[in-house]
Structure 1
């Protein structure tokens, strides 16, 4: 079964894909042409990154002749991949949004809010286009050290990507069927911009009160009205910098470029693609089949299998949507046949999404390492046990809920059947160990190791499982680019906002406030956990980490909290918020992937959220779970 993983992860509110569109043939043809112009290069860039990084690994480790230009070329291609991927996501309405409130509105108001979200995107890219062009022009005076290329070739990705998004936004507005909605949304957006410019003299004298105005009120209004999170961050930062500081607008583009260009973030698209590969090649199905043969005959057995399978698969893919799409279709039909209720199934699936946020190679771990400088290897090592602790608390609740399950009709597999399932699953079960061995032994970096996993998965699919659908390869590459572009644009916009907060002196004020909390290190951990549960629910995980990670990690170090321990606490707290209804977008992704209505899981998930919070409390109180194996 083919599942649009990117759409499921980023558009949780069901049918919220923009205002009603006309059937104008010429506009639709132009839209399809732009789609091909963007999607084909984006797919090729994903392939190119895999080839370049793999060539670097092979050349360095096998031939002992490092390619000095491989990282440089990968960095140039990466910015183009990020921007073209963001364009693909924009065209498909797949940028991450907070749509819980929009989904509850009446149809007319919902259509208006969808149009506002589109107009907000148009205003953002229009405002950023000229500064991006100036930034690319300035980069003409910089030459790359290894390839000796003009750096403008890399920086040009920013104005090109923004220009394409502007074209798509205009095209979407021309396609809308209700011009009154379009004109009203445009009038509101332009009126807000003109009003802020008119108020500039007043704003200049407000000092740090502008932080509340732009980054609390402004971001809050935009996010809750359904504007994509990246655009909400970008608009607020652009307005703050241009209206209340003397910094040029080009600074915002520079900070976005810096945030999106960390080479460690290249692991994001590669692990997303690896996650899609293990689902397509049948590797995930083999792992789940083996676990089911071991536990399927005990009370609540398939629920334990779901928890264990999400743990194993998360150790390969790094993408929660890919994890859920690989596991749910395999297990849910049999679980329903045994009498499990749909609501309990989707609730547990969402809870396991939160449970496995720290399992390497988690994209959130990679992001934390990128923005805070914490060792990726240390984060990968420290993330294993906290995931197990939460798995134990979830399984304890499963045992209680299913202690009376009637399994008289379920036959216990023979030892021969279990052995056969193990033989089939061994190549798949070996992949997490291959990935970890390659990092620990220095064969590849945390960024490069994904390419080894991709080659392994391709060979396993072709030679062992004989399940490799070549027709799905291109859609998977485009899906990888779109999801990665959506993630990286958020990281870029959040980096710009984090810089603005730091320049304002907010970070020093926050440091003083957090260090004066009662309870010392433990009080700091509890407050951080509560804050990230809320932030994870409203902003999703990655924006919250990028925005507040650089501010809070130095404070954690000052109050005596180990940086890896702190990372595990905030990631798991963020995961609870991300997968908890009514606002958590991860919960709606689980519903979309499992094809279960969100209302069904609202009550059952309460118990699982409590179990997760009990596990989080254990992680806070026992640092050894996070740092014991470092």
Structure 2
């Protein structure tokens, strides 16, 4: 992975003079990083002030949401630029890594060129879109909406510059020439085949949205740009729709204020680790359960369950817990590959725990109450946790007795007191949403403020809290959020194209006509989303197919929250299952073990997850039994 620093330096040796071009490149990178970090700070401050003024001072700030929405578009686009700079856009590299170095160089060049071509095609339409939005004024601030929409052409232009720079920085002139020939040949072939594609009717969707997307993803093109190039190719060659539609749909998908919870919860996950809250939670659970046979496996499950309610990001969950717990588990004789398998399964089992980013995404793009999703997601996760815990217990019976001594009551009490702030935070988040104190977006800022206050208090008490890391955490949160939000924006454009083609209606009719009625529909949903989860990851799969399938489920009288839990658990199963699941490889990387050995051990845990999925699917009460407590936002 090439970092922004590497791109800026262009591989120059330490101490070598920096050329003016590199100096300008480095200055632009630092400017984008600073702007993204500042925007995230501003967003947190604006939303937090909105909560305080509305609920504490009873004087709502009528302009707060409007300003937050305008700044959010800039945060999303600059975050996307940062993600491209740092090579952090979501992509599949499992296939490319098996190729020879020469073929890998070709694939990298093709992927970079696809990004260049797509961004170049939308820069001008994005500028026209922003110009058109200048005629619309916002109601509270009376500000031209074009100032918000200008984020799209500015972000697209910056991404084009980054993509060209990355393309030129790749080694091997032959690989770049071969990539240009390959992409050019595909473009010419599609252009010549346009009359035949038009005559095919909706079968041409297989060419653009299956073959072209799959081909782009296989060579390592980021998923967002694979969606984008397929959509613009389809609109250009077989429709009369202008490319401005791609930009307007992209703007609509990324501008939803509900999605502002994504960067704030990602930031909260980083603050959780920096403040020491995650470590204190693990210390308490180790003192409580560390002496029992297989106790640390239960500690891992419990820690992931609790931390998932705080960070909202599964990668952040695993990264916060594993480094603190794995060394002690290895000391006690645990197999590192077994630990990684358990970590992958625990990541999948907590996909429904609020404030999961997938829950927030479903609420935003499928029109489901986020507060209801937050309430309905807890019991399915409990069922999955208990079943994986049963697998851990059965394995522990074959192990030798635990060597660690039972912790004295005084130690348990002391670690409990230290961990109490960490235990209170997920309760605070859930109560604030369920009781209507704050929306899902606003409650994320309450969590950030709570964690920062704890970190400052701990630092004042003499504990080593590295606040100097805060700036890098803001930049990291902006980059990760930009990668997620760009997928949502371009998947929204792709979903519009599929809807315009009539495919959505055909899909709904097909799903509704599956033999078995509601039962058959749910079983097909499990299979489809398990496959989609392994290939596309959760968020793009939801954005692309959620708006198509949720209406079909509703027509079959399936509760939206219940259907969401089935979809999320099925995607989690695919996301963490080898050989394609991206989450599986993330767990192996965090555990620092080879995926080869982990693949043989993870299946017993995934079987338990499958059983949990079946139980949740056919016992709807698990998802809907407590919904009367959830207000609607």
Per the normalisation by structure 2, the TM-score is: 0.95
How far did 1:500 drift? 0.9
The answer (yes or no) to whether the contact 1:461–1:467 under 8 Å persists in 2 is: no
Distance 1:549 1:170 in 2: 34
- Please list the CA deviations of residues 84-117 of structure 1 after superposition, one character each: whole Å capped at 9, or x if unmatched: 0000000111100011111111111112111111
Task: Rate the CA distance shift 1:592–1:30 in 2: closer, same or farther, 3 A.
Answer: farther
Matched, 1:261 2:255: yes
Query: Could you say which residue in structure 1 is the equivalent of 2:493?
Result: 496
1:118-133 matched pairs, under 5 angstroms: 118-133=112-127
How far did 1:194 drift? 3.1
Distance 1:58 1:408 in 2: 50
1:308-327 matched pairs, under 5 angstroms: 308-327=302-321
Match of 2:167 among 159, 168, 173: 173
Query: Could you say which residue in structure 1 is the equivalent of 2:358?
Result: 364
Distance 2:183 2:341 in 1: 38
Distance 2:139 2:464 in 1: 43
Match of 1:582 among 579, 582, 590: 579
Task: Rate the CA distance shift 1:622–1:148 in 2: closer, same or farther, 3 A.
Answer: same
How far did 1:410 drift? 1.1
How far did 1:547 drift? 0.5
Match of 1:462 among 456, 461, 473: 456
The answer (yes or no) to whether the contact 2:293–2:402 under 8 Å persists in 1 is: no
Higher relative contact order (CA 8 A, sep 6+): 1
Query: Could you say which residue in structure 2 is the equivalent of 1:382?
Result: 376
Where 2:201 maps in the other structure, the secondary structure is coil
Distance 1:597 1:46 in 2: 36
Match of 1:598 among 595, 600, 607: 595
How far did 1:596 drift? 2.1
Where 1:603 maps in the other structure, the secondary structure is helix
Q: Which runs of 5+ in 1 are unaligned?
A: 1-6, 12-16
1:280-429 matched pairs, under 5 angstroms: 280-407=274-401, 409-429=403-423
The answer (yes or no) to whether the contact 2:308–2:356 under 8 Å persists in 1 is: yes
1:45-84 matched pairs, under 5 angstroms: 45-84=39-78
Where 2:229 maps in the other structure, the secondary structure is helix
Query: Could you say which residue in structure 2 is the equivalent of 1:485?
Result: 482
Q: Which runs of 5+ in 2 are unaligned?
A: 628-633
How far did 1:175 drift? 2.0
The answer (yes or no) to whether the contact 1:21–1:177 under 8 Å persists in 2 is: no
The answer (yes or no) to whether the contact 1:297–1:407 under 8 Å persists in 2 is: no
Query: Could you say which residue in structure 2 is the equivalent of 1:474?
Result: 471
How far did 1:294 drift? 1.3
Query: Could you say which residue in structure 2 is the equivalent of 1:613?
Result: 610
Distance 2:468 2:181 in 1: 45
How far did 1:587 drift? 1.2
Match of 1:235 among 229, 245, 249: 229
The answer (yes or no) to whether the contact 1:31–1:171 under 8 Å persists in 2 is: no
Where 1:602 maps in the other structure, the secondary structure is helix
Distance 1:231 1:311 in 2: 33
Distance 2:183 2:41 in 1: 39
The answer (yes or no) to whether the contact 1:357–1:572 under 8 Å persists in 2 is: yes
Query: Could you say which residue in structure 2 is the equivalent of 1:439?
Result: 433
Distance 1:57 1:579 in 2: 37
- Please list the CA deviations of residues 514-559 of structure 1 after superposition, one character each: whole Å capped at 9, or x if unmatched: 1111111111111101111100000111000000000000111111
Deviates more, 1:456-465 or 1:263-272: 456-465
Distance 2:269 2:445 in 1: 12
Query: Could you say which residue in structure 1 is the equivalent of 2:210?
Result: 216
The answer (yes or no) to whether the contact 1:264–1:447 under 8 Å persists in 2 is: yes
Deviates more, 1:173-182 or 1:445-454: 173-182
How far did 1:126 drift? 0.6
Match of 1:565 among 545, 558, 562: 562
Distance 2:583 2:29 in 1: 27
Per the normalisation by structure 1, the TM-score is: 0.95
- Please list the CA deviations of residues 426-459 of structure 1 after superposition, one character each: whole Å capped at 9, or x if unmatched: 1110001111222223221111011111110011
The answer (yes or no) to whether the contact 1:342–1:600 under 8 Å persists in 2 is: no
Distance 1:288 1:579 in 2: 23
Query: Could you say which residue in structure 1 is the equivalent of 2:29?
Result: 35
1:179-190 matched pairs, under 5 angstroms: 179-190=173-184
Deviates more, 1:56-65 or 1:487-496: 56-65
The answer (yes or no) to whether the contact 1:532–1:574 under 8 Å persists in 2 is: yes
Where 2:95 maps in the other structure, the secondary structure is helix
The answer (yes or no) to whether the contact 1:83–1:485 under 8 Å persists in 2 is: yes
How far did 1:594 drift? 2.4
How many equivalent pairs are there?
616
Query: Could you say which residue in structure 1 is the equivalent of 2:631?
Result: none
Distance 1:180 1:30 in 2: 28
Matched, 1:548 2:575: no
Aligned-residue CA RMSD (Å): 1.8
